[in-house]
Amino acid sequence: MAPKVEIDSDARHVERQRRRITLTPMETHLVATVGEFVGTFLFLFFAYAGNLMAASRAPTAGSSTDGMRSDTIIFIALAYSFSLLVNVWAFYRISGGLFNPAVSFLVSYQGTFGSTTSTSR
């Protein structure tokens, strides 16, 4: 039976750092752009799916001119809110979680991001 060799946490950390893949700046921007596209697609997909589900199953308030009931409108608002919340949480480390181009432009204008970083968002 071979003796167990204990590797301390510092040695494991060094080993992980050595094996880590480094990306060029262009590859980093490409990953952020693809992450932003996928995040925006999933945000809109789940939000519209919640909207369609709520609108198709909801009874009307009274006559045909009244529109939707207030609980249906709240459900639709919650579908959009939770869709955005989950996608920002899932993609914030990849692309910053900025799914609104106006916000990306404003953050770039303020100088929080560099000019090349914000152009890929």
Question: Per residue in 30-76, pLDDT tens?
Answer: 887 788 888 889 999 999 999 999 988 877 655 555 677 888 889 99
Domain count across the chain: 1
The answer to whether 87 and 39 are in contact (CB under 8 A) is yes
Cα(39)–Cα(31) distance, integer angstroms: 12
The pLDDT-based confidence of 2 (bands split at 50, 70, 90) is: low
CATH number of the domain residue 57 falls in: 1.20.1080.10
* Mean pLDDT score, 21-38: 80
Angle formed at CA 34 by CA 28 and CA 37, multiple of 5 degrees? 140
Query: What is the domain range of residue 29?
Result: 24-119
Residue 99 · residue 36 · CB < 8 Å = yes
- Rounded Cα distance between 43 and 10, Å, is 40
Q: What is the pLDDT of residue 66?
A: 64
